[in-house]
């Protein structure tokens, strides 16, 4: 897309560079969506990426202040006062697509939570976190395509929460390095798996049953969100199908490595993305979604 204002053009370019630098399981600012919306996705991603990186900084001092400053720039963005490149791009996207302030605010609440909360007592607590950390992104994507139907938002919430949980299960080891545990403590107790076991990376029957249990609940959320791709604008369908398939495939890969996410992080290769893309060209109801023998299911 051509931008007459060179500052906005450069701002979007910076957001795209940021999006490309970070690996994700699922396509960011994908070429499967139109360029103007692709740029807006990159701006949304850049906004979230900055705050996420702040929340991941070592120590606590200053992190909440930096997120508060980012929130103030967000408020100024909505009032038309912007200077930072990310907000120059974001302001343009907000204006053109009428993006809700609430969704950006909820993302910042999740990052603030990351600074002070590194354990979740039960699954309800984890779902509440996902409601701020993941679901707003899906709702913003829907808004980009003019969707503001509560039913579609509910389906999107299921898909986004499932994607967030999938990321937690594949990143157990990485999160431990930051002293973050997203496995609900209640579930660890249920399977008699201790925090010491977790820190030691013990893969035994207790661990496998625990992770199978979490994956089962995550698959249920994917199934609840499965109808979403066929109910959105045609330009968004392949992207959402690919996202759904990618998440389910990562869950399958966790099983294929024997649930040992401590020593090997299950992830999607470029070849996986190519294979899934060809499946995503068809409705998930036409055999493209229930099973993926070579990717999604453990042997």
Reported as a single tens digit per residue, the pLDDT across 102-131 is: 999 999 999 999 888 999 999 999 999 999
Same domain, 222 and 132: yes
Domain membership of residue 151 as a residue range: 117-299
- The whole-model pTM stands at 0.90
The single residue listed with the structure tokens 């779902």 is 127
Q: What would the mean pLDDT of 249-269 be, rounded to a whole number?
A: 95
Confidence label for 207 from pLDDT (cuts 50, 70 and 90): very high
137 and 274: one domain? yes
User: What are the backbone dihedrals phi and psi of residue 69, each rounded to the nearest 5 degrees, phi first?
Assistant: -65, -40
What pLDDT does residue 295 have?
Answer: 42
Contact 122, 184 (CB under 8 A): yes
DSSP string, 188-249: HHHTT--HHHHHHT--SHHHHHHHHHHHHHHHHHHHHTTTGGGGS-HHHHHHHHHHHHHHHH
Q: How high is the pLDDT of residue 19?
A: 78
Do both 127 and 244 map to the same domain?
yes
61 pLDDT more than 90: no
Range list of β-strands (E), 40-187: none
Task: Give the residue from 87, 113, 139 where a domain finishes.
Answer: 113
Statement to judge: residues 109 and 246 lie in one domain: no
State what percent of residues in the chain have pLDDT above 90.
76
């Amino acid at each position: 897309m051509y931008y007459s204002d060179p500052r906005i053009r450069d701002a979007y370019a910076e957001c795209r560079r940021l999006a490309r630098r970070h690996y994700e399981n699922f396509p960011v600012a994908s070429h499967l969506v139109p360029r103007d919306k692709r740029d807006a996705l990159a701006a949304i991603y850049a906004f979230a990426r900055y705050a996420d990186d702040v929340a991941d900084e070592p120590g606590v001092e200053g992190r909440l202040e930096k997120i508060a400053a980012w929130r103030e720039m967000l408020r100024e963005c909505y009032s038309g006062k912007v200077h930072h490149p990310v907000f120059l791009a974001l302001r343009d996207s907000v204006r053109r697509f009428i993006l809700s302030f609430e969704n950006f605010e909820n993302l910042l609440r999740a990052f603030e939570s990351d600074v002070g909360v590194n354990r979740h007592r039960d699954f309800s607590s984890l779902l509440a976190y996902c409601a701020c950390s993941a679901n707003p992104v899906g709702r913003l994507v829907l808004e980009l395509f003019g969707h503001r139907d509560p039913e579609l938002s509910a389906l999107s919430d299921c898909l986004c929460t499932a994607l967030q949980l999938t990321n937690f299960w594949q990143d157990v080891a990485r999160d431990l390095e930051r002293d973050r545990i997203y496995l609900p403590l209640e579930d660890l107790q249920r399977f008699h798996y201790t925090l010491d076991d977790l820190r030691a990376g013990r893969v035994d029957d207790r661990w496998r049953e625990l992770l199978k249990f979490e994956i089962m609940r995550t698959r249920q959320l994917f199934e609840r969100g499965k109808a979403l791709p066929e109910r959105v604008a045609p330009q968004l369908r392949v992207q959402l199908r690919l996202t759904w398939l990618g998440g389910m495939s990562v869950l399958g890969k966790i099983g294929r490595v024997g649930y040992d996410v401590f020593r090997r992080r299950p992830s999607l290769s470029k070849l996986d993305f190519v294979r899934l893309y060809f499946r995503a060209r068809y409705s998930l109801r036409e055999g493209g979604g229930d099973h993926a023998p070579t990717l999604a299911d453990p042997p």
